[in-house]
Amino acid sequence: EAGVTQSPTHLIKTRGQQATLRCSPISGHTSVYWYQQALGLGLQFLLWYDEGEERNRGNFPPRFSGRQFPNYSSELNVNALELEDSALYLCASSLSFSTDTQYFGPGTRLTVL
Amino acid sequence: KQEVTQIPAALSVPEGENLVLNCSFTDSAIYNLQWFRQDPGKGLTSLLLIQSSQREQTSGRLNASLDKSSGRSTLYIAASQPGDSATYLCAVRPTGANSKLTFGKGITLSVRP
């Protein structure tokens, strides 16, 4: 069974540009979670989607947005990139919003120059 | 606001030693607690999940305990091996609909051959 996949593996952007990160959950999983892991700050919750709906949002500015598609894959968009957005962005999925074991993808390393 | 603390930030032990990793949290109203492992630059792997009604969970050489009243959890690793070298994170899910995981910053474990 394929695990959670994320693309691209690495992404290099300059300040002010937009970045789009993609995530495909494990087959049958309806919940997708996005996290930011910046150096020294630990893992910070960004967004949670289930059945196409946004369930919860972390303490991030509106330029961080996302969506979940009918096939449950998800996209994270970051507009007006800032240097401090450089981080590892991790996506996780779970069977449903009431099932707690989250399975993580390998992450996308975003570097903002 | 739930806060999760893991101390120390780093730990180095000789191979074969039994060790305990600590996790503390400020709000005892939790739904569950999870321990994850993260290898450098990679995603997270779920190790153990303890529901709030449980006291401990075991998987192979790993044993996790939960004491909600004192706001503490421990991850016990028996007979440590160099392959156990990684960062170990604990995360709590508070009670309440659509609650999100709150992570500690992790403990980086190095097992010396």
List of chain A residues whose C-beta atoms are within 8 Å of the C-beta of residue B32: 100
Kindly tell me the sign of the dihedral angle through the C-alpha atoms of A12, B46, A52, B99: negative
Phi, psi of A83 (to 5 degrees): -55, -40
How many angstroms separate the CA of residue A107 from the nearest CA in chain B?
6
Which of A48, A88, A103 minimises the CB distance to B46? Answer: A103
How many angstroms separate the CA of residue B101 from the nearest CA in chain A?
7
Each residue's pLDDT tens digit in chain A (113 positions)? Answer: 689 999 999 999 999 999 999 999 999 999 999 999 998 788 999 999 999 999 999 999 999 999 999 999 999 999 999 999 999 999 999 987 666 688 999 999 999 99
Preceding amide of A8 cis, omega within 30: yes
pLDDT for A62 equals 96
d(CA B109, CA B87): 6
pLDDT for A101 equals 82
Interfacial residues of A (vs B; Cβ cutoff 8 Å): 4, 33, 42-45, 48, 55-56, 58, 88, 90, 92, 97, 100-107, 109
* B19 in A contact zone (CB under 8 Å): no
User: From the candidates A6, A39, A41, A43, which should be mutated to test the interface with B, based on the most B CB atoms within 10 A?
Assistant: A43
d(CA B111, CA B8): 15
d(CA A2, CA A5): 8
pLDDT for A12 equals 98
How many angstroms separate the CA of residue B99 from the nearest CA in chain A?
7
d(CA A66, CA A68): 7
- From residue B113, alpha-carbon distances to A3, B11, B75 in Å are 31, 14, 21
| pLDDT per residue as tens digits for the range B11-57 | 999 999 999 999 999 999 998 999 999 998 888 999 999 999 999 99
